[in-house]
Amino acid sequence: MPETIMEAYIRKNPKSAELYPKFQELFPSGGAGHDGYVASPFPISIARGQGPRKWDVDGNEYIDFGLGSASLLLGHSHPAVVDALTKAAPLGSHFGAPVESMLEWGERVHNLIPCADKVRFVASGAESTMLSMRIARAYTGKEKIIRWESHYHGWHDYAMPGNLPPFDSPASIGIPQGAVDSVVVLPPDLDSLERTLAADNNIAGVITEGSGASYGTVPLSPGFLEGVRRLTRQYNVLMILDEVITGFRWSPGGLQQRIGIDPDLCTLAKILTGGLPGGAVAGRDDIMQVMVQTGDRQHDRHQRVLHGGTFNANPYCAATGNAALEIVASGEMQDTADRMADRLRVGLQEILDRSEVAACVYGDASTFHVYFGNRSIEGMDANTLKNAPPAIQTAFRQALQVRGVDLMSRTSGVLSGVHTEDDIDTALGAFDGAIQAMLEEGIAS
Ligand SMILES: Cc1ncc(COP(=O)(O)O)c(C=O)c1O
């Protein structure tokens, strides 16, 4: 009997298998620090990364299409980012006071992101969407936020309603009903949006993952974002573009620059810091003024948005953020990443066609997604596209891992500006092997 995908995975990862019970003993949820990192029968523990590659604790090497959950457009341990961090490290990590590197960082965001009249740094992507919602409510004096089924905006209470099917039940327990009631979850269609805006005058803003849910796993229809912009203007509510993934990746100025759309607020993280913890809300001057402290006690206590956060814009993240944004500003990293993603999508589709597997590859900019079950995703919604059978998702990821390739989540991945054509061609060999192994085991057909 030939070795199965799972048997090969277990054989190649003895140290990860040995560590797993220790992780489990100490940490809830499968020993992972993030629900997305849970894997069966155990996740692979990673030791280090360099450029487009990473190595696990057993010494196995991977061409990485996960890239720090899409935060590493420059690849792992980019020398400029490492150098910035090394220089900043001995100077101190936190002063509870402005540092000049923050000023430079804010200017870079302001210069790159079209809607960024003003910038406020936070400590994560989730914090950026949470703060953007508070700003929208404060500015409009309205309470509710409209969001789209299955779009991901982080893990906080206001981001959980509508994140997972069934969309009328929050993605997590522990969410107060008050938070659920303040979020309106809609399928991504403009008629639903217009009907809701016309019927409910308590809407503060509409938040959208501009790529479509989960970095484009569920693409939006052409013209959708333009329609959201038109209707939000017409009904005087704010358009919040969640650019936590698309920011600096779709173009130096994010998705908003690439397609020429003008949101009122946007949220940023990941590439913003060169891959360290951090995020930001950026937006129109008059809106961001809701955060201003005037010194007037009545105003400052009752008429402004309060915001704290010990590690916001700390000197280490400002240093790595500056190093990363200096490089991404030219657009070369994005061009390379897009070209490599295109090469990967085309090559992988050829493999699927040649192998006569009912599956297809799609994706925008520097992303790719594989859907098993049909040769096209035309007309498919989030329920279908994000719910491939777990056995297929697990087998695909593991079959790739044992062949030296790793993905970001489910059956999707992202590219960097340091992947080369050779990396892609090597990876395509692994994709081919993985598909054949899945066919042999009857997991794909
Ligand atoms: C579109 C989007 N928004 C928000 C977040 C939350 O960011 P973080 O994980 O930094 O809190 C993510 C994370 O992947 C994301 O993809």
Express each pLDDT in 105-119 by its tens digit: 999 999 999 999 999
Same domain, 272 and 131: yes
**Ligand 1, from 153, 207, 250: best to mutate by most atoms within 8 Å of Cβ?**
153
Ligand 1 centre distance from Cα of residue 112 (Å): 20
In this structure, which residue's CA is closest to atom 8 in ligand 1? 125
Spacing, Cα 172 to ligand 1 middle (Å): 16
Query: Which residue, 249, 219, 250, is CA-closest to 371?
Result: 219
The DSSP result for 86-111, as a single string, is HHHGGG-S--SS--HHHHHHHHHHHH
Q: Is-contact 279 125, C-beta < 8 A?
A: yes
Task: Tell me which residue has its CA closest to atom 10 in ligand 1.
Answer: 125
What is the residue type of 233?
R
Does the pLDDT at position 85 exceed 90? yes
- Residue that terminates a domain, selected from 283, 299, 328: 328
Burial of 415 from C-beta contacts in 10 A (0-12 / 13-18 / 19+): buried
Residues 155 and 226 grouped into a single domain: yes
User: In this structure, are 178 and 306 located in the same domain?
Assistant: yes
Domain at 269, CATH number: 3.40.640.10
Atom of ligand 1 nearest to the CA of 129: 4
Tokens of 137: 């409510």
Q: How far is the CA of 123 from the centre of ligand 1 (A)?
A: 11
Would 445 be classed as within a structural domain?
no
Distance in angstroms (rounded) separating the CA atoms of residues 391 and 88: 45
Instruction: Kindly report, residue by residue over 158-205, the tens digit of the pLDDT.
Output: 999 999 999 999 999 999 999 999 999 999 999 999 999 999 999 999
**Mean of pLDDT values over 409-416:** 94
Confidence of residue 87 (pLDDT cuts 50, 70, 90): very high
Query: Residue 171 falls within a domain, yes or no?
Result: yes
**Is the same domain home to 358 and 315?**
no
Please list, in sequence order, all residues whose beta carbon lies within 8 angstroms of the beta carbon of residue 442, skipping any fewer than 6 positions away. none
Q: State which ligand 1 atom lies nearest to the alpha carbon of 277.
A: 10
Q: Are residues 59 and 120 in the same domain?
A: no
Which pLDDT band, with edges at 50, 70 and 90, does 407 fall under?
very high
Instruction: Give domain status of residue 196, yes or no.
Output: yes
Q: Which atom of ligand 1 is nearest to the CA of 214?
A: 16
Cα of 154 to ligand 1 centre, how many Å?
Answer: 5
Q: How far is the CA of 242 from the centre of ligand 1 (A)?
A: 9
Shared domain for 288 and 320, answered yes or no, is: yes
Q: How far apart are CA 322 and CA 155, in angstroms?
A: 27
- The whole-angstrom separation of Cα 59 and Cα 30 is 23
CA of 407 to the centre of ligand 1 (A): 17
β partners of residue 414: 367
- 56: which strand partners? 46
**pLDDT at position 147:** 98
Nearest CA to ligand 1 atom 7: 125
Whole-structure pTM value: 0.97
The residues, ordered by sequence, that sit 6+ positions from 402 with a Cβ below 8 Å of its Cβ are 5, 8, 9, 12
Mutation test residue for ligand 1: of 71, 245, 317, 414, the one with most atoms within 8 Å of CB: 245
Residue by residue, DSSP assigns 289-310 as: GGG---S-HHHHHHSS-----T
- List the residue whose alpha carbon is closest to atom 5 of ligand 1: 154
CATH number for the domain spanning 418: value is 3.90.1150.10
Peptide bond into 166 cis (omega under 30): yes
Task: Confirm if 191 and 280 have CB atoms less than 8 A apart.
Answer: no
C-alpha 308 – ligand 1 centre gap (Å): 19
* β-pairing verdict for 203-209 and 238-242: parallel
Statement to judge: residues 129 and 168 lie in one domain:
yes
Percentage of the chain exceeding pLDDT 90: 94
Please give the Cα distance from 45 to 406 (Å, whole number): 12
Is residue 268 domain-shared with residue 371, that is, in the same domain?
no
Q: Is residue 386 scored above 90 in pLDDT? A: no
**76 near 54, Cβ under 8 Å?**
yes
Kindly state whether residue 272 falls inside one of the protein's structural domains.
Answer: yes
Together in a domain, 137 and 271:
yes
Among 296, 328, 360, identify where a domain stops.
328
Q: Angle between the 332-354 and 421-440 helix axes, to the nearest 10 degrees?
A: 30
Average pLDDT, the chain: 96
Sign of CA dihedral 197, 203, 208, 214: negative
Residue-number span of the structural domain to which 191 is assigned: 79-328
Whether residues 70 and 107 fall in one domain:
no
To the nearest 10 degrees (0 to 180), the angle between helices 315-328 and 100-112 is 30
Buried b (16+ CB within 10 A) or exposed e, 181-216: ebbbbbebebeebeebbeeeeebbbbbbbbbbbbbb
- Closest by CA to 363, choosing from 433, 410, 427, 418, is 410
What pLDDT does 400 receive?
98
User: Whose CA is closest to atom 4 on ligand 1?
Assistant: 153
Last residue of a domain, one of 328, 356, 373: 328
Query: What are the tens digits of pLDDT across the range 130-157?
Result: 999 999 999 999 999 999 999 999 999 9
According to the model, what pLDDT value does residue 445 have? 87
Find the residues whose C-beta lies inside 6 A of ligand 1.
Answer: 69, 124-126, 129, 152-154, 209, 242, 244-245, 269
Q: How many domains does the chain have?
A: 2
Taking 80 as the threshold, does the pLDDT of residue 32 lie above it? no
Let me know: does 62 contact 401? Beta carbons within 8 Å. Answer: yes
Mutation probe of ligand 1 site: the residue of 148, 152, 155 with most atoms within 8 A of C-beta: 152
CA of 337 to the centre of ligand 1 (A): 20
* Atom 3 (ligand 1) nearest CA: 153
Q: Ligand 1 mean position to 164 CA, how many Å?
A: 15
- The DSSP-derived string for 429-443 is HHHHHHHHHHHHTTS
Residue 285 and residue 399 share a domain:
no
Question: What tokens appear for 348 in the block?
Answer: 């992988």
Q: Are residues 251 and 338 in the same domain?
A: no
Q: Which atom of ligand 1 lies at the shortest distance from residue 70's CA?
A: 14
